[in-house]
Structure 1
Amino acid sequence: MKKHNFSAGPCILPQEVLKKASEAVVNFNGINLSLIEISHRSKEFVEVMENARSLVKELLDLPEGYSVLFLQGGASLEFLMTAYNLMKIDGKAAYFDTGAWSSKALKEAKLLGEVDVVASSKDKTYNYIPKDYTITNDVDYVHLTSNNTIYGTQFKEFPKSDALLVCDMSSDIFSRELDFSQFDLVYAGAQKNMGPAGTTLVIVKDEILGKTGRTIPSMLDYQIHISKDSMFNTPPVFPVYVSMLTLQWLKDLGGVKAIEKINKEKAALLYAEIDRNSQFKGFAEVEDRSAMNVTFNLTNEANQEVFDKLWNEAGISGIKGHRSVGGYRASIYNAMPIESVQVLINTMQQFEKQVHN
C-alpha cells in the first residue's frame, strides 16, 4: 500500500531525490566509490557544496553581499550562534514568542544578554501571530520564527525596524516567494523542505558580522565558517548532497514561484474541508494559518478511535498532533503531492459519514 507521509520532520522527500541519493551511496557519479566514503575535500564533493550554495542563491534570488552556509547542529545550535554573532557585549535583542522553538531560541539568547519579548501568543496556546507590538531602538537584532510547526501558525508579514532582522525558517524555507533583502540572517534545519536531518542552512549578510566586541568560539563563528566555505570541520556530506538534489528538483519544477502556487492549492483544499466538515475544527486562527502545517482537532474526541482506524487503513502516516496540542497535524511540505492531500480529505469525509450513520 502507498504511504502518504504527513510527518512534521524529518519529512517527505521527492521520490526521484531518494532514488538518486540511494544510488550515490553505492556509486557516486560513476567513480565506483560511495558518496559517504570520499573526502569532503575531493573535487567531487567540493562541486556538490558549490552547487548547493549556488542553487540557494538562485532559488531565493539573494542579493549580493550574502553568504550561504551548510552547517550542523540544527536550528537548536543556531539559537545560540545567532546571539553569539549578533548580540553586542551588554547587548539586547527583541524576540517574538510564537511557539516552542522561538521560546527555546530566546532562552539561549538570555545566556549572552538581555532579551525583550516584544510579543507572545502563549496566552492562547500559540494559536495566533501577535500583531500588536513595539520594537525599541536599543536592540541589536529582532528574532522570529516564520512558521510554527507544532501550532500551525505562520507570519504573513514581517516586522519593520532599524534593527537587524533574524528569522528561523526551518519549516517554510523555499515554500513561498519572499524578499530576502529584508532579512539580515536566516537559518533553517534541512529536514522539512530541503533534505534529510543533519545539515542546517544559514544565509547571512556579510556586513553585519564581527561587530559584537566579544570573542566567539571558532565553531560558533559565522565568519570562520564563511572563510572555510562551510568546511571548517567535516561537513555532513550526505545531507548536503540530498539537499542539493532537492533544490535541483525544485528548480526543475519551476522554482519557488511554482511550488508556492502548488502549496497554496494544497492548503486551501485541506482547510476548506476542515471548515466544512462537522467533525473537525481548525486549531490556529484563520488569518494566521500555516501553509505548511495544518493543525486541527475533532469536534468530539470520543470518535478518535474511529478516525484513527480510518486514516491508518488509508495508508496515511504522521498526522498525530504534537503532544502539547493534541489533535492532528498534517504537514504538507513542498514534496507532499496534492494526491495525498486528497486521500486525507476523502478519509475525513468518510469519517463524517460513518459517525453520522
Structure 2
Amino acid sequence: MKRAYNFNAGPAALPEWVLQEAQKSWMDFNNTGMSIMELSHRSKDYEAVHNEAKSLLACLLSIPDDYEILFLQGGASLQFTMVPMNLLADDKTGYYALTGVWAEKALKEAAKVGKTETAVSSKDDNYTYIPDPAEIEVPENAAYLHITTNNTIYGTQWHKFPTGLKVPLIADMSSDILSTPLDIKNFDIIYAGAQKNLGPSGVTVVIIKKELIKKNPELPTMLSYETHASSNSLFNTPPTLAIYLLSLVLKWAENQGGIEGIAAINNQKAETLYHVIDNSEGFYKGHAVKDSRSKMNVTFTLQSDELTKKFLDEAKLAGFVGLNGHRSVGGCRASIYNAVPLEHVEALAQFMKNFQQNA
C-alpha cells in the first residue's frame, strides 16, 4: 500500500511507526486479551499507559515539577472557555493578542465570561505578520495575556514571546507544540489539541502552573482545572485510545532525537518549501511576511484562481492531500507537522517546480 502525501491541517499525519505499533496490539494489548479501547480506565494496564504519557511529555518538554499535566477533552475550543472561567475574576481583564481566526475565537469565548481587551492585533493587515512582542503592553492588574503561537490558517508563527510580564502568559500551542525547543517556564498555561503534532483528535493536553489551580465551588465540575488535577485526569472516562496513541507519538519523538532532532528536520522542511516560493519569480506568493512565517503551515497563492484550481487538481491526481487553503484566505496550504516526512515535502517542492515550468 502506498501512503498518501498527507498535508492535512488537522487531524493530520501520524508517524508510520506509531500506526504500526498500535496495530500490533489492536486486538490484544499487553496480553490482556482486549484492545486498549476496551480496557477500564481504572485498570492497572491503562493507568500505566496514562502515567507513561505524562512522564514522556514531561521529559521531552522539560516540564518543571511545579506544573501539572492534564489530559482533557473538548479540544482547544473548550480551553477558550476554561481559561477565563478559571482565571478571569470579576475585577480583572483578560488580554488577547489577535493574530488569526483561532485567537479571535478565544477572545470571543472569553468575552462571554468576563472583561476582555485586545492587547495587540495584526488583523488590519489580514494577519500577515506577528506583532513585535516588545510592543505589547499589559497592565499589572490584568488577569493574563493570551497568545496563539501558530496560526494555521494564515501561516504565521511566534518566533519570540513576550517577556517580563507581571501577569500569567497563556498560550494556545495546538499546532506547533513539540516542534521546536521551548522554555516552559516562560508560560503559565500551555494548551494544545493533540491532532496536529501530538497524536489523534480526542485528547487535549494542558500544562498549567500548579499555583493557578484553585478550587472554586461555583465552577461547573468538569470546567474546573482543580477537578482534573486532583484526579490525575481520571475524574471521568478519558479518551483512552487517544492517550495511548499520544504516548506512542512521544516515544517516536524520543527516537527522532527529541525536540532538537525534530526541530532540525522541521527547519529543513520549511526551508525546502519557502525556497521554492521565494525563487518562483512571483509565480507563488507566500501569505506571511518572512520573519513571521510558520514552520508548520506554509500558505501561498498562485497568480489567479484558475491557476490555483489547476494546481490543486493536478496535485490531487499526483497523490497530494490537504493542500487547499482555508476559505478565509484561499490559495494553498501545506501543513508540515512533525510526522510529515521530509521526503514528502521534497516531493511537493518538486511538484511545485514542475507545475511552474509546465504552466
What TM-score bracket applies, with the shorter chain setting the length? over 0.9
In structure 2, distance between residues paired with 1:191 and 1:63: 24
Deviations 1:200-225 (A, max 9, x none): 000000012228x7722110111110
AA partner of residue 227 (structure 1): S
Deviations 1:207-256 (A, max 9, x none): 12228x77221101111101100011100001000000000100121100
Deviations 1:165-190 (A, max 9, x none): 10000000000001100100000000
Name the counterpart of 1:261.
Answer: 264
2:172 is aligned with 1:168: yes
In structure 2, distance between residues paired with 1:199 and 1:58: 19
Kindly indicate whether the alpha-carbon contact (under 8 Å) linking 2:199 and 2:242 is maintained by their aligned counterparts in 1: yes
Kindly indicate whether the alpha-carbon contact (under 8 Å) linking 1:310 and 1:347 is maintained by their aligned counterparts in 2: no
In structure 1, distance between residues paired with 2:28 and 2:301: 46
Alignment of 1:103-114 (within 5 A): 103-114=104-115
Residue 298 of structure 2 aligns to a residue whose secondary structure is strand
**CA shift at 1:198, angstroms?**
0.2
AA partner of residue 221 (structure 2): S
Deviations 1:50-109 (A, max 9, x none): 000001100000112001010000000001111111111232111001111111111111
Alignment of 1:136-175 (within 5 A): 136-160=139-163, 161-175=165-179
In structure 2, distance between residues paired with 1:232 and 1:205: 19
**CA shift at 1:309, angstroms?**
3.2
AA partner of residue 289 (structure 2): E
Kindly indicate whether the alpha-carbon contact (under 8 Å) linking 1:60 and 1:180 is maintained by their aligned counterparts in 2: yes
Name the counterpart of 1:193.
Answer: 197
Name the counterpart of 1:236.
Answer: 239
2:340 is aligned with 1:336: yes
Segment of structure 1 superposing worse, 239-248 or 269-278: 269-278
TM-score, length-normalised on structure 1?
A: 0.96
Alignment match of 1:205 (pick from 205, 209, 224): 209
Deviations 1:124-153 (A, max 9, x none): 221111124321222011100000001000
AA partner of residue 126 (structure 1): Y
Residue 119 of structure 2 aligns to a residue whose secondary structure is strand
Residue 192 of structure 2 aligns to a residue whose secondary structure is strand
Alignment of 1:85-104 (within 5 A): 85-104=86-105
Name the counterpart of 2:285.
Answer: 281
2:208 is aligned with 1:215: no
**CA shift at 1:351, angstroms?**
0.7
Name the counterpart of 1:121.
Answer: 122
Kindly indicate whether the alpha-carbon contact (under 8 Å) linking 1:75 and 1:187 is maintained by their aligned counterparts in 2: yes
Segment of structure 1 superposing worse, 301-310 or 113-122: 301-310
> Gapped runs of 5+ residues in structure 2?
none
2:38 is aligned with 1:51: no
Alignment of 1:11-30 (within 5 A): 11-30=12-31
AA partner of residue 247 (structure 2): M
AA partner of residue 129 (structure 1): I
2:313 is aligned with 1:312: no
Residue 336 of structure 1 aligns to a residue whose secondary structure is coil
Name the counterpart of 1:346.
Answer: 350
Deviations 1:273-320 (A, max 9, x none): 011113201001111000000000002333224322331232110010
Residue 172 of structure 1 aligns to a residue whose secondary structure is coil
Residue 26 of structure 1 aligns to a residue whose secondary structure is coil
In structure 2, distance between residues paired with 1:101 and 1:304: 25
In structure 2, distance between residues paired with 1:20 and 1:217: 38
Segment of structure 1 superposing worse, 93-102 or 300-309: 300-309
Kindly indicate whether the alpha-carbon contact (under 8 Å) linking 2:312 and 2:324 is maintained by their aligned counterparts in 1: no
Residue 269 of structure 2 aligns to a residue whose secondary structure is helix
Name the counterpart of 1:69.
Answer: 70
Alignment match of 1:323 (pick from 311, 324, 327): 327
Alignment match of 2:228 (pick from 225, 229, 232): 225
Task: Spell out structure 1 runs of 4+ moving beyond 4 A.
Answer: none
In structure 2, distance between residues paired with 1:260 and 1:187: 20
Residue 31 of structure 2 aligns to a residue whose secondary structure is coil
Residue 25 of structure 1 aligns to a residue whose secondary structure is coil
AA partner of residue 231 (structure 2): K
